[in-house]
Amino acid sequence: MPFKNYALFTAPGVVVQDGQLGYKNLFDAILDAVYSALERAGGSSLKIVVSESGWPSAGGTQTTVDNARTYNNNLIQHVKGGTPKRPTGPIETYVFAMFDENNKSPEQEKHWELFLPNKQTKYQINFN
């Protein structure tokens, strides 16, 4: 599943080539697309802050605890650097979110968080 690997930061090599820029993950491709749009609009000096990024652990296709752990741990390590277009980092990024919310709907929306409602961790995560 090359696109799952592309989304989880686990692709072994470039998946998408855009001119001279090669993308091994979807996060960088999306971020650089926004940077390109900002540049065209005269905002090349702006810095993007990623206010929410994460992976659900249940409620849909490919929504597993293992995929959530893989994505969030890889995200934390990845944002210490930059993107192919802007290789100097870090990228200010916030993991979505702290606690599962049992009252949200649809089902997938309940399972994005790092902790269960009872404050127990869902999986090990490394912030270092």
Residues 102, 110 contacting (CB under 8 angstroms)? yes
Distance CA 71, CA 93 (A): 13
Q: Would residue 107 show up in a list of annotated catalytic residues for this protein? A: no
Q: Would residue 101 show up in a list of annotated catalytic residues for this protein? A: yes
Q: Would residue 52 show up in a list of annotated catalytic residues for this protein? A: yes
Contacts of 58 (CB under 8 A, 6+ apart): 64, 65, 107, 108, 110, 111
Contacts of 123 (CB under 8 A, 6+ apart): 57, 65, 68, 69, 114
From the list 52, 80, 92, 107, the catalytic residue is: 52
From the list 4, 92, 104, 107, the catalytic residue is: 104
User: What residues are annotated to the active site?
Assistant: 52, 101, 104, 109
